[in-house]
């Protein structure tokens, strides 16, 4: 896995000097939805998808300019590629001690081509054979694609697009249980496009069905990672930079990654200003400072102050919110959203610490 610092800030300070706030992208480690006991250290990925024969032909794209709605076409993915991609993603994460992949499809000789969960006996035999503690099985890889080609007059060309909905299903098995420990259903999409000066060129160069299914199947194998492992998430934060010399100087310190000096300036400015809007902005910045330190108690305290000042600035008390535009109360909405996100991060931190114990990282 990556070097596990729980928070990384990418600061995008825009060139417009009159801007009073700047956007910051926050990358932080989020907990998985599943807590694996630390004794589950070795995992095998197996292909338990029913054998499937694809009888659909290469699909022709349709003109949206003809008023024809593209028909969704369902097919199955290549579960072998999905299993390989999942095993590769697990290995790259370096979270479990050992990742093994079972080379054969378990259901290729079945007469009934329907989904069947592994029996406890099968799980026990496989975990013994592969010398692992538990299994993750690929159960289904459902794909649904829409194809279309349309003229793009403003570009004087044609555009072809294939939009693929990817819906794989996975089971997690341990040998001491008769039924799957967990089921992971995921959904996402992937698309391809082709531009050309003629419709014929676009049609001829659109992604072919075989490649489309292979890439979609490999993509499907990456989808359960965020449910199974701690993963990196991104969020947008706002840093207020204008309104006083201290705020502008503090922004320079942040740009130089000197947050402590910026904090000293914000703290002094907060004590001396009587302007409610400025207090709201400074409190927001101080909350952001504490978030960089993973000090969520202080971050939430200051975000709460920012939200209370925004309540007064936007005159929320007595306002008929049903007849109020969100743009008229944007400060209150944004500070409330930030406060909510901080509370969620605080709630997830204890779970993240538990999950990271297996690689002995200190958060």
At 96 the pLDDT is: 92
Contact 32, 227 (CB under 8 A): yes
pLDDT tens, residue by residue, 209-218? 999 999 999 9
| All structural domains of the chain with their residue ranges | 7-31+234-359, 42-229
Residues 6+ apart with CB under 8 A from 230: 1, 4, 29, 30, 31, 32, 95, 352, 355, 356
At 111 the pLDDT is: 46
At 71 the pLDDT is: 74
Pairing between β-strand 182-185 and β-strand 98-105 as defined by DSSP bridges: unpaired
* CA 111, chain centre distance (Å): 39
Counting DSSP H helices and E strands in the chain, the numbers are 10, 11
Element (H, E) at 337: helix 330-355
Block means of pLDDT (10 residues each) for the chain, 363 residues, are 45 46 88 87 94 65 59 89 96 93 76 74 95 96 91 90 95 94 94 93 91 96 93 91 91 94 96 95 97 94 97 90 86 95 91 80 42
At 14 the pLDDT is: 40
Distance CA 60, CA 238 (A): 46
- Whole-angstrom CA distances from 187 to 114, 184, 218 are 21, 10, 14
Nearest to 238 by CA among 6, 13, 5, 8: 13
Nearest to 229 by CA among 33, 40, 83: 33
At 264 the pLDDT is: 97
At 350 the pLDDT is: 83
CATH class of 7-31+234-359: mainly alpha
At 112 the pLDDT is: 53
C-beta neighbour count of 69 within 10 angstroms: 9
Q: What is the pTM of this model?
A: 0.74
């Amino acid at each position: 896995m990556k070097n596990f610092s729980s928070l990384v800030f990418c600061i995008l300070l825009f060139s417009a000097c009159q801007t009073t706030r700047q956007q910051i992208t926050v990358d932080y480690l989020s907990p998985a939805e599943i807590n694996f006991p630390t004794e589950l250290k070795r995992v095998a990925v197996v292909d338990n998808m029913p054998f499937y024969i694809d009888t659909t032909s290469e699909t022709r794209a349709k003109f949206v300019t003809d008023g024809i709605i593209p028909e969704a076409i369902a097919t199955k993915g290549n579960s072998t590629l999905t299993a390989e991609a999942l095993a590769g993603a697990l290995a790259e994460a370096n979270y479990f001690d050992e990742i093994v992949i079972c080379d054969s499809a378990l259901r290729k000789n079945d007469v009934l081509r329907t989904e069947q969960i592994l029996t406890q006996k099968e799980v026990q035999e496989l975990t013994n054979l592969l010398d692992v503690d538990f299994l993750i099985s690929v159960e289904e890889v459902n794909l649904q694609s829409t194809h279309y080609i349309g003229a793009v007059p403003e570009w004087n060309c044609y555009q072809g697009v294939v939009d693929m909905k990817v819906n794989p299903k996975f089971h997690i098995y341990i040998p001491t249980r008769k039924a799957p420990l967990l089921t992971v259903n995921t959904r996402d999409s992937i698309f391809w496009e082709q531009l050309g000066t003629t419709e014929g060129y676009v049609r001829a160069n659109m992604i072919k069905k075989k490649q489309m299914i292979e890439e979609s199947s490999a993509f499907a194998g990456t989808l359960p990672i965020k449910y199974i492992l701690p993963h990196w998430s991104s969020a947008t934060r706002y840093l207020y930079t204008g309104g006083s010399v201290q705020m502008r100087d503090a922004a320079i310190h942040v740009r130089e990654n000197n947050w402590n000096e910026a904090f000293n300036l914000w703290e002094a400015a907060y004590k001396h200003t009587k302007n409610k809007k400025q207090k709201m902005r400074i409190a927001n910045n101080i909350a952001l400072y504490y978030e960089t330190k993973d000090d969520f108690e202080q971050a939430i305290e200051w975000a709460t102050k920012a939200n209370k000042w925004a309540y007064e600035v936007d005159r929320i008390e007595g306002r008929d919110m049903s007849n109020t535009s969100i743009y008229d109360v944007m400060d209150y909405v944004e500070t409330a959203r930030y406060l909510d996100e901080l509370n969620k991060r605080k709630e997830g931190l204890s779970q993240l610490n538990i999950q990271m114990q297996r690689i002995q990282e200190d958060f």
